[in-house]
Amino acid sequence: MGIVNDRGRYYWVKRVPKRFKGLVRGQDGQPVTQVRQALHTDSKAEALAKAAQIEVARMAEWEALAAGDNGSARAHYESAKKLAGVRGFQYRALNTLLSSPIEEIVGRLHSLGTSDKLETPEVVRAVLGAVPVTHPDLNGVLKEYIDLTKTRHLSKSDAQKRRWKLSKERAVRNFVSAVFPSHSPPIDQITRSDALKFRNWWSERIEVDGLAAQTANKDFGHLAEIWGTWCELTATHLENPFSKLALDGAKEVQRPSFSREWVQDRLLAKGAFEGLNSEAADILLVMINTGLRPSEVTDAPLEDFCTQENIPFIRIAPNGRELKVAHTRREIPLLGVSCLTSAPTGQIWGLSNGGFLVHRSR
């Protein structure tokens, strides 16, 4: 963007970007490579402020031109919404706009200029809602949902973000492959019947393959969340077809506990750690008496191993990752084979093959 002073008056001047080549035309209808617009001021400060506004409006107009040229109905609709926004209006479809108060309609018409200087067709269509409303397919909704909710996950580690994203992608992939294997329609064409078809698909898999109902219910929950949040944050009014799909029979799996004898004879047996490197063995030893998750040990910085206290403990804090639940933040005593030394290198107490406590490198 640039401004030039011509005989004491300022003008906005911009070279047309390559991606809009041939689309931007002058008053004679021929393509142009540079545009120029009067700013009607002799103040440089005022000219800069006006030029910034014109830059945004023109770029939105050119994006709408490009979207219409490439034949993408969705891109054309999104560009029209953006273009209406920079002109000071919320995009409203023409049939909806016609039922609005007359003041709003007149205001939009007045914004389009006088009879001898009308706006471009792209601006007119955007302001008057003449571009058909087009919704994305479910994969497109997922991409927008991830972008719309990115601030929710600022405290997650990269690994946590990846797992969170994978579960949502898996749910969408399962639904599309089960219900729409040959094409993925816009979401306004997805019905409750389609969601129930997906539920039946999961029911058959559970019955035939012996899968857990909880696995299916996770898919339903992810899809309902994606759909509902996207509609809310984009002001799209569509019934959520994935609500209340949960299958009965989902049981909480109780993992069997390790007996004292099993731990002593297996985990702490002579040579039990021969297949592990020293760091993996140390992590296991810390977990034995504490019940810590592996990531809680590996992600903890050295200063969270509080070894100089009367009772040594490890402090569980976020440390660049999101805690699973709020009460996960805690302090866990380090006793027995899970105990640490106060050595500056942060060595961990472990068991030697003879059963004696020795220092292991962390």
User: Which of 41, 42, 37 has the alpha carbon at shortest distance from 2?
Assistant: 37
Query: What are the beta bridge partners of residue 117?
Result: 114
Looking at residue 115, the DSSP 8-state letter turns out to be T
Query: What are the beta bridge partners of residue 246?
Result: none
- Residue 212: exposure state from Cβ atoms within 10 A (0-12, 13-18, ≥19): middle
Predicted pLDDT of residue 280:
81
Cα separation, 240 vs 134, whole angstroms: 18
Predicted pLDDT of residue 169:
95
Three-state SS string over 230-274 comes to: HHHHCCCCCCCCCCCCCCCCCCCCCCCCCCHHHHHHHHCCCCCCC
339 three-state secondary structure? coil
Contact status, residue 309 vs residue 333, Cβ threshold 8 Å: no
Mean pLDDT of 289-299: 77
233 vs 72: which has the higher pLDDT:
233
The encoded tokens of residue 21 equal 């080549």
Determine the length of the chain: 362
Place of tokens 């030029």: 51
Neighbours of 84 (CB within 10 A): 23
Predicted pLDDT of residue 342:
32
97 vs 157: which has the higher pLDDT:
97
Predicted pLDDT of residue 357:
35
Mean pLDDT of 177-193: 91
Contact status, residue 285 vs residue 348, Cβ threshold 8 Å: yes
Cα separation, 34 vs 29, whole angstroms: 14
Distances (CA, A) of 187 to 116, 139, 191, 251, 286: 42, 9, 8, 32, 49
Predicted pLDDT of residue 121:
80
Over 50: is that where the pLDDT of 283 sits? Answer: yes
Looking at residue 16, the DSSP 8-state letter turns out to be P
Q: Quick: pLDDT tens for 299-355.
A: 777 777 777 777 778 888 776 555 655 557 777 887 766 664 333 344 444 333 333
Mean pLDDT of 218-232: 95
Query: What are the beta bridge partners of residue 5?
Result: 10
Distances (CA, A) of 60 to 74, 80, 145, 273, 335: 15, 8, 23, 63, 64
Domain range summary for the chain, segments of one domain joined by +: 2-127, 138-233, 260-360
Cα separation, 345 vs 278, whole angstroms: 14
Q: Quick: pLDDT tens for 58-115.
A: 777 777 667 655 546 777 777 788 788 878 888 888 878 888 888 888 888 888 875 5
The encoded tokens of residue 96 equal 């909806």
Cα separation, 133 vs 92, whole angstroms: 9
Cα separation, 31 vs 26, whole angstroms: 6
